[in-house]
Structure 1
């Protein structure tokens, strides 16, 4: 990251970046909100974070050359084939700033994690 950004809201976080990166961050936020409108938005670990029933749903962060998307390891394992063209970590993927965001894939990953959290809540109410 460019340095740990001091922000308490998405809008404060977003304003630290050039307009073209802000646009991608807003796209990402909109995709998550479309899939999980009941998720709570916050800043956690210095980046935008979404929680569902108090549990981590997804996180993301702008970097100098990419946007990091963190959907937890189980989500990344489930989408291993679709993510194979991107640089990845155990629970992270890097979407290059030089390319359009794969919004459809991001929505699918968010929905997968949302359903996983909903299923766990039903098993452990």
Structure 2
């Protein structure tokens, strides 16, 4: 059975959702991703009842599911290895694609339309916090304070890049971000627009200060 939102019922088959829609399906433990957290999604190509679309899988931390009870999120893209059955008539499967282990690899495997912006975000980040360590955290580029605390991260998506700060950093620039789509601590930057470099630099500098002077750690 596949479970769809916003409909709470289950049904024996499910087509790919409309843009922004969701479909949830449990994945047995032997095929589940070995990751967790908000950036811990594993990209997959899902095939359900013969219909295929790009999505991602991750460990569900909203409750304490039984062993192997995982979710599929039909909102992201690309592929990794997963192959499992999910009840009569339903099959979820994918093909292998290695995860990036460096930021160079991450940018090179990002959507072509976004590589220039992601490279620019990397340059901006290096200029703003030259002492930060570049790492891949939960599959995405992160800038880590020398004491080991994550300062901020960025990620590439189908049509935009996302820069992730702490909620307190994002909130401090509320009025300056009115023209952008934002989340709890994130800012979406469309690939076809010029990023607000001075604003992003100020946000990075604020994030460093709030950590070093006020002890604000990562989420």
TM-score normalised by structure 1 residue count: 0.89
Aligned to 1:25: 118
What SS does the aligned partner of 2:110 have?
coil
Q: Which has the higher contact order (CA 8 A, sep 6+)?
A: 1
Q: Does 1:13 align with 2:88?
A: no
Gapped regions of structure 1 (runs ≥ 5): none
> 1: distance between equivalents of 2:159 and 2:111?
12
Deviation at 1:18, TM superposition (A): 4.6
Aligned to 1:99: 193
Of Structure 1 and Structure 2, the greater helix share is in 1
Deviation at 1:63, TM superposition (A): 0.6
Aligned to 1:44: 137
> 1: distance between equivalents of 2:143 and 2:196?
19
> 2: distance between equivalents of 1:2 and 1:79?
30
**Runs ≥4 in structure 1, deviation > 3 angstroms?**
none
Deviations 1:25-60, CA, capped at 9 Å, x for gaps: 111111111111110110111110011121111100
What SS does the aligned partner of 1:81 have?
helix
Gapped regions of structure 2 (runs ≥ 5): 1-75, 80-97
TM-score normalised by structure 2 residue count: 0.52
How many residues are matched?
Answer: 121
Aligned to 1:2: 77
> 2: distance between equivalents of 1:79 and 1:26?
24
Match of 2:180 among 86, 95, 101: 86
